[in-house]
Chain A
Amino acid sequence: DTTVKQNPRYKLARVGKPVNLICSQTMNHDTMYWYQKKPNQAPKLLLFYYDKILNREADTFEKFQSSRPNNSFCSLYIGSAGLEYSAMYLCASSRGDSYEQYFGPGTRLTVL
């Protein structure tokens, strides 16, 4: 099973409110990634977990937080949503020594 699951598929949030998105995989992959995809833009890497170590991209460092309570789950947390956070959020996973990433269906976040 090469399935990566994301919940919810659609999320509506109010400006200033927190948002928590969930991703899970059962492939025992040690690395999990979060990307942001806006219309007419390339998917952009936000952060990734290698095992228990979180790596955040420099330009989004303060905007997103994440946790990984166990190998299978990874969350993406926005403390105070702004309109600019409206996007598709893609979760992916991979084995640490592999270039291949497996993607979930995405969560479409709309901030109003």
Chain B
Amino acid sequence: AQSVTQPDARVTVSEGASLQLRCKYSYSGTPYLFWYVQYPRQGLQLLLKYYSGDPVVQGVNGFEAEFIKSNSSFHLRKASVHWSDSAVYFCAVSSNSGGSNYKLTFGKGTLLTVTP
């Protein structure tokens, strides 16, 4: 069965600093990987996704992630964070649940706090 581990429950960084949120997955097949963000009182929004090809994928608002197959990792990065990036970030892996249906397995999330 697939699983996703986000080892850091909370991360605090200063505005303007760089950011890395860690994600490791376990999946026997070809992984389809996602990062979602949840701002307060809102639903989960897709930041970026990886299906195949270039292992570094770009997302919205300057976020990027790198798929490293040998390490089973899909870490999220941003060069310079803004206070508005404060949110909960979820890493997820998609698996085929039969036919053309896909189910997401999430990590527990990382609460990012950006301080002035």
Contacts and interface: CB of A to CB of B under 8 A. Distances in A.
Interface of A: 4, 6, 31, 33, 40-45, 48, 50, 55, 90, 92, 94, 96-106
Contacts, number: 60
Contacts of B98: 55
Given A99-B94, A103-B43, A106-B43, A42 B107 contact: yes
A6 B41 CA distance: 12
A31 B94 CA distance: 14
Q: How large is the interface on B (under 10, 10 to 19, 20 to 34, 35 or more residues)?
A: 20 to 34
A55 B46 contact: no
Interface of B: 4, 9, 32, 34, 36, 41-46, 49, 51, 90, 94, 97-109
A12 to B, nearest CB: 17
6 closest A-B pairs (Cβ-Cβ)? A103-B44, A103-B43, A42-B106, A105-B43, A99-B94, A96-B100
